[in-house]
Amino acid sequence: MSALADSEARPVPVQYPDDELSARFAAGDEGCVEAVYRRWAPLVLSLARQTLGDGAEAEDVTQTVFLAAWRGRHGYRAGRGSLPGWLVGITRHKIADALSARTRRTDAVAAAAHESPPSPDPSCPQDAVLSRLDVTREMRRLPEAQRRVLCLAFYGDLTQTQIAHVTGWPLGTVKSHARRGLLRLGQTMRQTTE
């Protein structure tokens, strides 16, 4: 009975047509924020979950997207596209930020492993750790676009299609950056082992 009373006490969000909802949101109508969130949060969450593969991180990204959208609502122009399309654009950027943060955390762990004294445990595969550090060092030397594609592929575990979606680049461009980056990594790694 109390759940019913609570649901009756909460106001039901007003249902606006998409174009009116978009206009109200862009104008700063705080009363429509919940309606915008209810209508398009599933889309944003789905994109984030598919790309990141982590539900909790996807929920964080979703919250960040809607906060950024509200703060930047003056930048939305209905003539350039729909509000959900604009939200997807923000989502792409926030997913890329999350993946970059993930890469920075991985780099920090690798750097910490490099600085820590060798483990006295004889079963620790030192060569594998050194190889990973070599790859990390060489990845930093790649051009930004190649490094971003390879980091999203290896650290973010994304397919090339997903990388194209996150970056907004054409699939062919993503494939070219991946191929050139891998070729360059292979060449430099061969040079360091010779």
Structure tokens at 118: 């060798």
Q: What percent of the chain has pLDDT over 90?
A: 17
Angle between helices 126-141 and 83-115 (to 10 degrees): 130
Q: Can you tell me which residue has the tokens 């598919």?
A: 50
Q: What's the number of domains the chain is made of?
A: 2
Per-residue model confidence (pLDDT) at position 7? 43
pLDDT at position 4, please?
A: 41
Residue 111 banded pLDDT, cuts 50, 70, 90: low
- Which domain range does residue 139 map to? 124-194
Q: What is the pTM of this model?
A: 0.52
The residue whose two tokens read 């030397």 is 141
What's the DSSP call for residue 72? T
Using 50, 70 and 90 to split pLDDT, how confident is the model at 6?
very low
CATH number for the domain harbouring residue 128: 1.10.10.10
Give Cα separations from 59 to 86, 114, 166 (angstroms).
18, 33, 17
Q: What local confidence, expressed as pLDDT, does residue 71 receive? A: 92
72 and 11 housed in the same domain: yes
> Over the stretch 22-33, which tens digit does the pLDDT of each residue have?
888 888 888 888
The answer on 92 and 20 residing in a single domain is yes
For residues 116 and 137, the model is more confident at 137
The stretch 136-161 carries a mean pLDDT of 81
Q: Does residue 102 carry a pLDDT above 90? A: no
Mean pLDDT of the chain: 78
- The per-residue pLDDT for 123 is 53
Residue 37's pLDDT is what?
92
Is position 114 within any domain?
no
Most confident of 57-71, 104-118, 138-152: 57-71
Residue 63: the pLDDT is: 93
The enclosing domain of 59 has a CATH number of 1.10.1740.10
The answer to whether 76 and 26 are in contact (CB under 8 A) is yes
10 and 94 in a single domain? The answer is: yes
Same domain, 80 and 153: no
